[in-house]
Amino acid sequence: MEVVVERLQGHNIKPSVQRIAIMKYLMEHRTHPTVDEIYTALSPTIPTLSKTTVYNTLKILSEQGAAQTLTIDERNTCYDADTTPHSHFLCKRCGRIYDLPCDDAIKKVVDTDMDGHEVQEIHYYYKGICKQCKED
């Protein structure tokens, strides 16, 4: 619990009960959950929780850099507690999102001339059929 509170405070987020629960869930579930998944998992223990609160909290977490928002799946926005640079692979068959190491050469994009624009986020998305689905 303390780790979660420290993480929120470290990103200037006031640690309310609901925010702590959502951040904790994200840190414990590295499956890139959606708003619906988080809401369904937490609502039995926090009856006052609404989907809007989950959505708004995730928005704050992303804006403050405590989590990252993934738009790899066009049907659902996913969230990731891992904010270090890494790539994502979406399986078109099962919908699972996998973490992949990010190539050092790719990270160098930051150093290229962005014509005066300030880059704040870089996303690397790969899509295909995952190794588990390929075996079936």
133 touching Zn ion, by CB under 5 A:
yes
Applying the rule CB under 5 A, the residues between 61 and 100 that interact with Zn ion are: 80, 82, 91, 93-94, 99
Rg (CA), the chain: 16
Q: Is 37 in the site for Zn ion (CB under 5 A)?
A: no
DSSP string, 79-107: EES--SS-EEEEETTT--EEEEPPPHHHH
Q: Cβ 121 to Zn ion, closest distance in Å?
A: 13
The SS3 assignment for 38 reads helix
The pairing of beta strand 68-70 with beta strand 125-128: unpaired
Q: Should residue 131 be labelled a site residue for Zn ion when binding is judged by CB under 5 A? A: no
Q: Give the E-state strand segments of 2-136 in sequence order.
A: 68-70, 78-80, 87-91, 97-100, 125-128
Closest approach, Cβ 132 to Zn ion, in A, equals 5
Q: Minimum Å distance from CB 15 to Zn ion?
A: 23
The verdict on whether residue 130 carries a ligand-binding annotation is yes
Tokens 């904010």, residue located? 83
**Cα(42)–Cα(83) distance, integer angstroms:** 22
Residue in 5, 41, 46, 130 binding Zn ion, rule: CB under 5 A: 130
Query: Judged by CB under 5 A, how many residues of this single chain contact Zn ion?
Result: 8
Binding-site positions for Zn(2+): 91, 94, 130, 133
Using CB under 5 A as the criterion, which residues of the chain lie in contact with Zn ion when the complex forms? 80, 82, 91, 93-94, 99, 130, 133
Binding-site positions: 91, 94, 130, 133
